[in-house]
Structure 1
Amino acid sequence: MTTSQLTQKPKPGAARREGHPGIALAVIAACQLMVVLDATIVNIALPHIQAALSFSTTDLTWVVSAYTLTFGGLLLLGGRAGDILGRRRVFITGILLFTFASLLGGLAQEPWQLLAARVLQGVGGAIASPTSLALITTTFPEGPERNRAFGVFAAVSAGGGAIGLLAGGMLTEWLDWRWVLFVNVPIGLLIAVLTPLYINESERHTGRFDIAGALTSTAGMASLVYGFIRAADKGWRDSLTIGSFGAAAVLLVAFVIIESRAKEPITPLRMFADRNRSGTYVIMLSLAAAMFGMFFYIVLFVQNVLGYSPIQAGLAFLPVTVVIAAGAGLSQQFLPRFGPRPFMLVGSALAVIGLAWQTLISSDSSYVGGVLGPMLVFGFGMGLNFVTLTITAVSGVAPREAGAASALLNAMQQVGGSLGLSILTTVFGSASRDEAKKQLPKFLANGSAEQKQEFAKSHQLPAPWGHEVLAHGISTAFIPAAAMAVLALVTAWLVIRVRKSDLDALAGTAGPGIG
């Protein structure tokens, strides 16, 4: 080794151990998996959380919503922070904040403590997640190598929800509900240690933070989601429901105005000028809205109607993870040959079929016929979509705006999920109340004195009438979910137009059969 080699200093921000792209990808994917699955890992543990911390039923919903709303609302600002401050630096900051919040949540002794920790988790996730996707563009060269990395990232994003349900069931049944939060601590610390070793720092860009845009977008979406949730309980004529929708409209309009006038907006509106990118955002929003609702209500069905334990409920979703991964792998393999559009069309059509099938669910449905079958169809369709949507959405974006573009795609997934779940909850609440009124005469005629007394206390129909009401509400809620998937299909059909030159840029090679 020469003297010059001995005295040569590494570039600022260079990884200490270069030449290990597999490890770098594993670190990035592990972060995304941890952040994504945290949106669902607590779902199966919710009854245990309610009993331990004395949550009311209404307040319990915010254990999920506090995370998803904060996460989705601040993703745009998180992506911008990575562009300005350096993506690796911001990535590590987000991971450490997420890890610390997970520890606080696991130690919570009061409801407000857990909710505060979930909000802080959302902030950490919003910082880390968009930066992790943007790091792929700076770690892997454009072409097949980057596309493979995008494929792994997309598969993790798609399967994270189902994995979270399985992990939540195992941790809750074998250990304690607190471990659905504690499990993030060792993983997060390991990611924080490995990141500076294997991932290079990105170039920093001068700029300003669009705080006004971040606040109006987050508050606007939170008001919109709250309006739907409030309507499910109090109805559409409730003054607070109307006020929430009004506030959402004002805030979101203000957000658009701010972004159109800001010198350095967190959401450059010119990104929507590309029809393919705009189309992918709409498809992601629509499919995520349907997916979040499907997971939530199927978990409810298998535990409350089929009587599954937490781990059984988690295992019930394992086949979905497998078919999502299979769909993602298939689309990644044949993307250079056929281009993104066919996979978006077929994937969205399968999502429509799966959700339409789930509208037939009833209290007599079995797991195989009423749950597994439609979930497999839906999951395979989602797998076909996630890789192609991810690659198309971030393709052709200037390096300076890569963080914002990736954050916008993730924001569409999280915000779409929150909106979709709130809309389905509104439909579910209305349908359940109507069915309960129909079942009430039957209950009063056939119910035992003990059941009637319980009904008088809780104002809810006990089993088996409660199962019928629940199943009817769930099947009805899947109607708007199917409509959301139809919107994705129509968008893929009418909006997406990918040319051969676009395909070459995406895949790094001229795929045969395109002309």
Structure 2
Amino acid sequence: MSSPTTAPPSRSTGVVWALVITSVAGFMASLDNLVVTTALPSIRKSLGGALSDLEWTVNAYTLTFAVLLMFGAALGDRFGRRRLFLVGLTIFTGASAAAAMSSGIGALIAARAVQGVGGAIMMPLTLTLLTAAVPAAKRGMAFGIWGAVNGLAVACGPLIGGSLTQHISWHWIFWLNVPIGLLLLPLARLRLNESKAPNRRLDVLGTALISLGLFGIVFALVSADSHGWTSGRVLGGLLGGAVLAAAFVRHGFTAAHPMLPMRMFANRGFAAINVGSMLMYVGMFGSIFLLSQFLQTVLGYDPTQAGLRMLPWTGMPMLISPFTGLLAGRIGTRQVVAIGLALQAVGLGWFATIASPDVSYTTQLPALIISGVGMSLFFAPATTLLMGSVRPAEQGIASGTNNAMREVGGALGVAVLGTIFSAHGGYTSGSAFVDGLTPALWVGAAILVAGTAAVLSYPRRALQSDDAGEKDAAPADLQPTH
């Protein structure tokens, strides 16, 4: 794709446009992970379908999104990041319109799956395009804003979905994406510079192995709640996915040009931040999934009221994340990420301690605020650690890998904490719900403690992309092509 004939924007203007475009696109892709959850009763009333069909309106997106993230990043590295970003954005926008116009539950599930394909191509490239546009000295602030927007999208999905459903229609959950996507397409074409990874070849075998392996694992995880962990579907998916993932790991050691060189995991920093990120999403996704239901099922709030009452947690990243770069400069990026994970663990433990069928909102508030501050301290500094742990030419696949691990962590969190909830409680009464919620939150807190330990193993001195000579310029492989 040739570059536009208009003169390229100035560096500072280009940074602003890149930040706006990539943050808004990332917001759309992240939002659709959980935006449907509070609309499921309305969708069922409108389109019909069994409970398992409704679950798949959520899982179809999660499945294709998680499976194809690494593939999307690899395509961008090979054929051009802006070009593939535009392709992914087009697919996502078109599938959103198709979902909004669905006349049956099957059509909605299919549209959600295609949405996930577009999101998987688009999402990892938002980070590499942003890295290309922002000078190294300003990336901490840029990643802070990008992380705040994406974190807010994940956490506020139930609020936005519930508000649109309650006050307009569930169709507007999907229509919302269409005008935004149509606006972003020409802006991205005109305002983003093209970049590629040098000498990047498409690894067909590696792509097939990891895509099919992740499909098996994520399919099993999203099926566990409805079919049970010992069912043939779940065990077969986990076993088959694990075998293919192991083959992918071996391929990464032996192939001449693998999609994901396994030597990257020999880098302690890259391994530590990926494990920490996955564990963070296990604890966060599973907890938000259960707590949003607690507020509605037990305490009697409607979807909008429940979402508003979770804002001290879910909305906190928008307030704090842009300033985490300044804090990281004072005490260290690794320490900020570790503190963020530890605070989330404290918040969940606090909530597990005070949970009851008649707990007041003022009693919940400290736990919500602590968890919100912790989440705010995670997103942007974790991105800085990730991008600083690899070479510039590897940033695209590093972003795809990290996003894939986060999505698998989210699916795992809902499945594991949901299973713990079901084993100890249920929906028959408020007391039964709390009986299941309490041990699930304690497990979520323990998982976040493990994530804290993983991040603390990140080496004090890791490969950085802002070494001398790069302070005022993008890395060589990310220089714009015109």
Shared fold (TM-score, shorter chain, > 0.5): yes
Going from structure 1 to structure 2, the CA distance change for 1:222 and 1:12 (only over 3 Å counts) comes to closer
Counterparts of 1:230 and 1:194, CA distance in 2: 39
Between the two proteins, the alignment pairs up a number of residues equal to 466
Going from structure 1 to structure 2, the CA distance change for 1:183 and 1:345 (only over 3 Å counts) comes to same
Name the stretch that deviates more: 181-190 or 338-347. 338-347
Letter aligned with residue 282 of structure 2: A
Residue 429 of structure 1 and its aligned partner are, at CA, apart by 1.8
Counterparts of 1:298 and 1:82, CA distance in 2: 37
**Does structure 1 residue 86 correspond to structure 2 residue 73?**
no
Counterparts of 2:109 and 2:352, CA distance in 1: 33
Counterparts of 2:378 and 2:299, CA distance in 1: 31
Name the stretch that deviates more: 375-384 or 112-121. 375-384
Match of 1:487 among 431, 439, 450: 450
1:32-71 correspondence runs (5 A): 32-71=26-65
Name the stretch that deviates more: 251-260 or 269-278. 251-260
Going from structure 1 to structure 2, the CA distance change for 1:218 and 1:254 (only over 3 Å counts) comes to same
* Match in the other structure for 1:133: 127
* Match in the other structure for 1:323: 316
* Match in the other structure for 2:9: 18
Residue 161 of structure 1 and its aligned partner are, at CA, apart by 1.4
1:390-469 correspondence runs (5 A): 390-395=383-388, 397-432=390-425, 461=428, 466-469=429-432
Contact 1:67–1:122, Cα closer than 8 Å, also in 2 = yes
Going from structure 1 to structure 2, the CA distance change for 1:501 and 1:336 (only over 3 Å counts) comes to farther
Name the SS of the counterpart of 2:455 in structure 1.
helix
* Match in the other structure for 2:68: 74
**Does structure 1 residue 142 correspond to structure 2 residue 136?**
yes
Match of 2:182 among 156, 178, 189: 189
Going from structure 1 to structure 2, the CA distance change for 1:485 and 1:29 (only over 3 Å counts) comes to same
Match of 2:152 among 142, 159, 167: 159
Letter aligned with residue 181 of structure 1: F
Match of 1:301 among 294, 297, 307: 294
Contact 2:66–2:407, Cα closer than 8 Å, also in 1 = yes
**Does structure 1 residue 472 correspond to structure 2 residue 435?**
yes
Match of 2:377 among 384, 392, 417: 384
Contact 2:224–2:415, Cα closer than 8 Å, also in 1 = no
Going from structure 1 to structure 2, the CA distance change for 1:378 and 1:283 (only over 3 Å counts) comes to same
Residue 336 of structure 1 and its aligned partner are, at CA, apart by 2.0
- C-alpha distance after superposition, 1:206-255 (max 9, x if no partner): 54333433343343334334444555445444344433332232222122
TM-score by length of 1: 0.84
Counterparts of 1:35 and 1:233, CA distance in 2: 26
Going from structure 1 to structure 2, the CA distance change for 1:321 and 1:17 (only over 3 Å counts) comes to farther
Contact 2:4–2:190, Cα closer than 8 Å, also in 1 = no
Identity of aligned residues (%): 35
* Match in the other structure for 1:282: 275
Match of 2:458 among 496, 505, 508: 496
- C-alpha distance after superposition, 1:283-315 (max 9, x if no partner): 100001111112211111111111212221222
Contact 1:14–1:199, Cα closer than 8 Å, also in 2 = no
Letter aligned with residue 188 of structure 1: G
**Does structure 1 residue 247 correspond to structure 2 residue 240?**
yes
**Does structure 1 residue 99 correspond to structure 2 residue 61?**
no
Residue 326 of structure 1 and its aligned partner are, at CA, apart by 3.6
Letter aligned with residue 18 of structure 1: P
**Does structure 1 residue 336 correspond to structure 2 residue 356?**
no
Name the SS of the counterpart of 2:377 in structure 1.
helix
* Match in the other structure for 1:259: 252
Higher Rg: 1
Counterparts of 1:14 and 1:84, CA distance in 2: 24
- C-alpha distance after superposition, 1:408-464 (max 9, x if no partner): 12222211111111111221221226xxxxxxxxxxxxxxxxxxxxxxxxxx73xxx
Going from structure 1 to structure 2, the CA distance change for 1:82 and 1:15 (only over 3 Å counts) comes to farther
- C-alpha distance after superposition, 1:340-359 (max 9, x if no partner): 12212211210111111232
Contact 2:422–2:436, Cα closer than 8 Å, also in 1 = yes
Counterparts of 1:14 and 1:269, CA distance in 2: 41
Residue 104 of structure 1 and its aligned partner are, at CA, apart by 0.5
Counterparts of 2:53 and 2:416, CA distance in 1: 18
Residue 501 of structure 1 and its aligned partner are, at CA, apart by 8.3
Going from structure 1 to structure 2, the CA distance change for 1:83 and 1:60 (only over 3 Å counts) comes to same
Name the SS of the counterpart of 1:223 in structure 2.
helix
Counterparts of 2:93 and 2:345, CA distance in 1: 37
* TM-align CA RMSD: 2.4
Letter aligned with residue 85 of structure 1: F
Going from structure 1 to structure 2, the CA distance change for 1:314 and 1:237 (only over 3 Å counts) comes to closer
Match of 1:354 among 347, 352, 357: 347
Counterparts of 1:193 and 1:168, CA distance in 2: 27
Residue 190 of structure 1 and its aligned partner are, at CA, apart by 0.4
Name the SS of the counterpart of 2:259 in structure 1.
coil
Name the SS of the counterpart of 1:359 in structure 2.
helix
* Match in the other structure for 1:374: 367
Counterparts of 2:125 and 2:165, CA distance in 1: 31
Contact 1:336–1:503, Cα closer than 8 Å, also in 2 = no
Name the SS of the counterpart of 1:477 in structure 2.
helix
Contact 1:431–1:472, Cα closer than 8 Å, also in 2 = yes
Counterparts of 1:239 and 1:166, CA distance in 2: 35
Going from structure 1 to structure 2, the CA distance change for 1:481 and 1:248 (only over 3 Å counts) comes to same
TM-score by length of 2: 0.90
Going from structure 1 to structure 2, the CA distance change for 1:472 and 1:228 (only over 3 Å counts) comes to farther
Residue 325 of structure 1 and its aligned partner are, at CA, apart by 2.9
- C-alpha distance after superposition, 1:45-69 (max 9, x if no partner): 1111122121212222221111112
Counterparts of 1:86 and 1:431, CA distance in 2: 50
Counterparts of 2:338 and 2:392, CA distance in 1: 29
Going from structure 1 to structure 2, the CA distance change for 1:231 and 1:504 (only over 3 Å counts) comes to closer
Counterparts of 2:310 and 2:97, CA distance in 1: 27
